């Protein structure tokens, strides 16, 4: 991951965005250009003023029926696109997320292909101001950039119209699968699971191999120096990360399959899995990115002074991972997105509805007795999974009861939410941990 990201958004979002959001005619026009690198694309969603709150994005695409064109604008400083990889120097085109305005009415956020730079000399197109945002902690080979647009005109057909259309006379129509636009945004969170897993695998491999070769001190006076991997304290540092690397591999595999299934249903007009997909991609992106950073720092330290050197690799893995907890949604907010879904599921369970998917355990019998009777039971993966399930059940339902009690006492919903935010974040986190362990157990078995 740390070495091959220069064109990452071209591969991970620009091409998949065209594949998922364009009509067949638009695919025929744009995909050959992108696949053959005739154009280089990026995905411009985040703005300087708004990242997590997508509904508040300020970039506009206003239709001009006389010219059959959209007029693209970033009306304020906070409206400029900020962070997209490849935007600073490399990209010639971008899928730009903007508020669609027709006859003064806002029809929400939609994707548009905007040419940023000339294909002749790579200079910015008229009305385009684009550049690099500057040095970062790491990943300097990615030219993260900013984009401002001042009355930039693009053809009407540059709006990606698989799920929503604007006709020549300015009429807006949306298909039953319009939420596929949002499902495409979720794709990058699923990809982040793979990136985090890959970084953790690399970090674990490096630090464990180092620990097998490095010898230091003796347990017995006069004896030979020990491999540091033989020391219990070193195993305590490294083996949880090794186990997590396997778990995250199975999480990534499972969520990729979940995403593909959900997306196929969504483009067919069935949105029944969208809420589940949003919830799971949110909390798992938060969990894997957060814990990968913690594990990688522990691994770097486990290599002693050598771990501080760039040639050891551990620092590069860590710095590469440090972007993940905030990219595509800050983790605290993402845990709350999952918690909001879980609170609804608890209410559904109490009303007698049958729960499906990752939250089905919330409808379980609340009576629970820990099944551990002896030490060997702690090695039984099914028993451990049961404990994680009960832990999640207790914390999630307990949070729901507290939230309900506060609102019943007269507290406004938004005040009650804020007053219980730490509990809600924890609820989202323990739910994700239970799901990760479930994927691990099922993958191993």
Q: Are residues 23 and 116 in the same domain?
A: yes
In a domain, 257, yes or no: yes
In a domain, 371, yes or no: no
Token pair for residue 433?
Answer: 């941990």
**CATH number of the domain encompassing residue 46:** 2.40.110.10
| pLDDT for position 3 | 45
Rounded mean pLDDT, 333-349: 97
Task: Render pLDDT for 407-442 as a digit per residue (tens, 0 to 9).
Answer: 999 999 999 999 999 999 999 999 999 999 999 999
For residue 184, is pLDDT > 80?
Answer: no
Last residue of a domain, one of 131, 152, 175: 175
Q: How many CA atoms lie within 13 A of 253 on its CB side?
A: 12
Rounded-to-10 torsion of CA 406, 409, 411, 417: 10
Contacts of 164 (CB under 8 A, 6+ apart): 100, 107, 110, 172, 173, 174, 175, 178, 181
For residue 361, is pLDDT > 70?
Answer: yes
Token pair for residue 283?
Answer: 């909390």
Which residue among 69, 290, 328, 438 is the active-site one? 328
For residue 177, is pLDDT > 70?
Answer: no
| pLDDT for position 271 | 86
Rounded mean pLDDT, 304-330: 92
In a domain, 391, yes or no: yes
Average pLDDT of the chain?
A: 93
In a domain, 223, yes or no: yes
Which one has a higher pLDDT value, 316 or 430? 430
Q: Are residues 260 and 121 in the same domain?
A: no
Rounded mean pLDDT, 32-46: 97
CB atoms within 10 A of CB 331: 21
Contacts of 425 (CB under 8 A, 6+ apart): 332, 335, 336, 339
Task: Render pLDDT for 202-216 as a digit per residue (tens, 0 to 9).
Answer: 999 999 999 999 999
Task: Please give the C-alpha separations between residue 92 and each of 162, 344, 352, in angstroms, as whole numbers.
Answer: 23, 44, 54
Pairing of strands 60-64, 41-44: unpaired
d(CA 46, CA 329) in angstroms, rounded, equals 10
In a domain, 77, yes or no: yes
> Of how many residues is the chain composed?
445
Q: Are residues 222 and 324 in the same domain?
A: yes
Q: Are residues 344 and 200 in the same domain?
A: no
d(CA 391, CA 385) in angstroms, rounded, equals 10
Q: Are residues 166 and 237 in the same domain?
A: no
For residue 106, is pLDDT > 60?
Answer: yes
Known catalytic membership, residue 445: no
Q: Are residues 83 and 216 in the same domain?
A: no
Q: Are residues 230 and 187 in the same domain?
A: yes
Last residue of a domain, one of 152, 175, 198: 175
Can you give the residue range of the structural domain that contains 421?
330-352+379-445
d(CA 130, CA 89) in angstroms, rounded, equals 8
Last residue of a domain, one of 140, 175, 210: 175
For residue 153, is pLDDT > 90?
Answer: yes
Task: Please give the C-alpha separations between residue 321 and each of 142, 163, 288, 337, 395, in angstroms, as whole numbers.
Answer: 14, 34, 10, 22, 29
For residue 219, is pLDDT > 90?
Answer: no
Q: Are residues 113 and 194 in the same domain?
A: no
Which one has a higher pLDDT value, 267 or 127? 127
Q: Are residues 306 and 188 in the same domain?
A: yes
Number of domains in the chain: 3
Task: Render pLDDT for 385-396 as a digit per residue (tens, 0 to 9).
Answer: 999 999 999 999
The answer to whether 44 touches 134, Cβ cutoff 8 Å, is no
Q: Are residues 20 and 136 in the same domain?
A: yes
The answer to whether 184 touches 17, Cβ cutoff 8 Å, is yes
Q: Residues of the chain with pLDDT > 90: what percent? A: 82
Q: Are residues 237 and 308 in the same domain?
A: yes
In a domain, 78, yes or no: yes
| pLDDT for position 269 | 79
In a domain, 364, yes or no: no
- Of the candidates 46, 19, 11, 5, which has an alpha carbon nearest to the alpha carbon of residue 260? 19
| pLDDT for position 445 | 85
Q: Are residues 49 and 145 in the same domain?
A: yes
Sign of CA dihedral 435, 436, 442, 443: positive
The answer to whether 173 touches 66, Cβ cutoff 8 Å, is no
| pLDDT for position 5 | 66
Q: How confident is the model at residue 1 (pLDDT cuts 50, 70, 90)?
A: very low
pLDDT-wise least confident of 114-128, 165-179, 348-362? 165-179
d(CA 295, CA 290) in angstroms, rounded, equals 9
- Of the candidates 251, 331, 334, 252, which has an alpha carbon nearest to the alpha carbon of residue 294? 331
For residue 38, is pLDDT > 70?
Answer: yes
Task: Render pLDDT for 236-277 as a digit per residue (tens, 0 to 9).
Answer: 999 999 999 999 999 999 999 999 999 888 888 788 899 999
In a domain, 365, yes or no: no
Token pair for residue 353?
Answer: 């509805």
| pLDDT for position 178 | 59
């Amino acid at each position: 991951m740390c070495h091959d990201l220069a064109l990452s958004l071209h591969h991970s979002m620009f091409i998949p965005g065209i594949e998922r959001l364009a009509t067949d005619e638009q695919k025929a026009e744009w995909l050959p250009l992108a696949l053959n690198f005739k154009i280089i694309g990026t995905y411009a969603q985040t703005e300087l003023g708004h990242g997590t709150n997508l509904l508040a994005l300020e970039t506009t695409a206003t239709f001009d029926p006389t010219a059959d064109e959209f007029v693209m604008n970033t009306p304020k400083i906070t409206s400029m696109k900020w962070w997209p990889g490849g935007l600073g120097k490399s990209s010639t085109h971008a899928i730009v997320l903007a508020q669609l305005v027709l006859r003064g009415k806002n029809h929400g956020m939609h994707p548009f292909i905007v040419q940023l730079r000339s294909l002749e000399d790579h200079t910015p197109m008229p009305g385009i101001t684009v550049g690099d945002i500057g040095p970062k902690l790491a990943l300097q080979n990615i030219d993260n950039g900013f984009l401002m647009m001042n009355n930039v005109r693009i053809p009407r057909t540059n709006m990606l119209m698989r799920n929503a259309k604007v006709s020549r006379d300015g009429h807006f129509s949306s298909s039953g699968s319009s939420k596929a636009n949002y499902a495409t945004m979720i794709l990058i969170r699923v990809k982040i699971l793979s990136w985090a897993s890959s970084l953790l695998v690399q970090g674990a491999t490096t630090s464990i191999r180092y620990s097998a070769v490095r010898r230091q001190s003796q347990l017995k006076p006069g004896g030979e120096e020990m491999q540091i991997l033989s020391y219990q304290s070193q195993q305590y540092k490294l083996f949880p990360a090794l186990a997590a690397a396997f778990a995250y591999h199975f999480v990534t595999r499972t969520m990729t399959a979940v995403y593909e299934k959900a997306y196929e249903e969504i483009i067919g007009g069935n949105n029944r899995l969208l809420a589940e997909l949003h919830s799971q991609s949110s909390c798992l992106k938060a969990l894997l990115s957060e814990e990968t950073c913690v594990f990688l720092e522990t691994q770097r330290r486990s290599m002693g002074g050598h771990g501080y050197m760039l040639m050891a690799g551990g620092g590069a893995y860590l710095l590469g991972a440090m972007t993940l907890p905030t990219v595509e949604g800050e983790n605290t907010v993402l845990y709350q997105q999952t918690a909001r879904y879980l609170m609804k599921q608890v209410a559904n369970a109490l009303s007698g509805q049958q729960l499906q998917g990752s939250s089905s355990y919330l409808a379980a019998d609340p009576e629970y007795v820990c099944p551990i009777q002896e030490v060997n039971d702690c090695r039984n993966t099914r028993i451990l999974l049961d404990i994680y399930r009960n832990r999640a059940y207790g914390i999630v339902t307990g949070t729901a009861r507290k939230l309900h009690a506060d609102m019943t006492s007269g507290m406004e919903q938004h005040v009650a939410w804020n007053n219980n935010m730490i509990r809600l974040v924890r609820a989202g986190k323990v739910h994700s941990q239970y799901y990760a362990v479930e994927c691990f157990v099922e993958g191993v078995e």
